[in-house]
């Protein structure tokens, strides 16, 4: 991907960036080799109130966010979520700027996940 394409992708909405909660559930049920790595970017307090099973917690508001995300393989597939979808969208943009290519986020976040009556781990 050219530098121009990378810069352009930061400013134009990507229709494939958002995944509905039910599609996220399907993706998380794929074989381990095909399943995206699930990352919860909410605060620790939100994390403790319930999360999607199998998620890794990396708080976007933490000063360690870029370092922790930067330690992940760039070629991996990632699915992010927060409470409503706003912070996970920002986290996705930051990851794309760092060179990650396959990053999506759950539209509506945990609110949509719960509204779809999908399982929540504590």
* 56-80 per-position pLDDT tens digit: 999 999 999 999 999 999 999 999 9
> 53: number of CA atoms within 13 Å, CB side?
8
What is the length of the chain?
Answer: 122
CATH superfamily of 3-115: Rhodanese-like domain (3.40.250.10)
pLDDT in tens, 84-103: 999 999 999 999 999 999 99
What's the distance, CA 33 to chain centroid? 18
pTM, 2 dp: 0.87
Question: What does the domain layout of the chain look like in residue ranges?
Answer: 3-115
| Residue 77 β-bridge partners | 102
State in Å, rounded, how far the first CA of the chain is from the last one.
40
């Amino acid at each position: 991907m050219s530098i121009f394409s990378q810069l352009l992708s930061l400013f134009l909405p990507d229709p494939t960036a958002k995944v509905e909660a039910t599609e996220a559930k399907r993706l998380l049920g794929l074989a381990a080799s095909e399943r995206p790595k699930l990352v919860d970017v909410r605060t620790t307090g939100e994390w403790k109130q319930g999360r999607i099973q199998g998620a890794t917690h990396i708080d976007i508001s933490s000063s360690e966010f870029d370092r922790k995300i930067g330690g992940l393989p760039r070629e991996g597939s990632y699915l992010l979520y927060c409470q409503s979808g706003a912070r996970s969208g920002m986290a996705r943009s930051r990851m794309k700027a760092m060179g990650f290519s396959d990053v999506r986020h759950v539209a509506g976040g945990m609110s949509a996940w719960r509204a779809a009556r999908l399982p929540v781990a504590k």
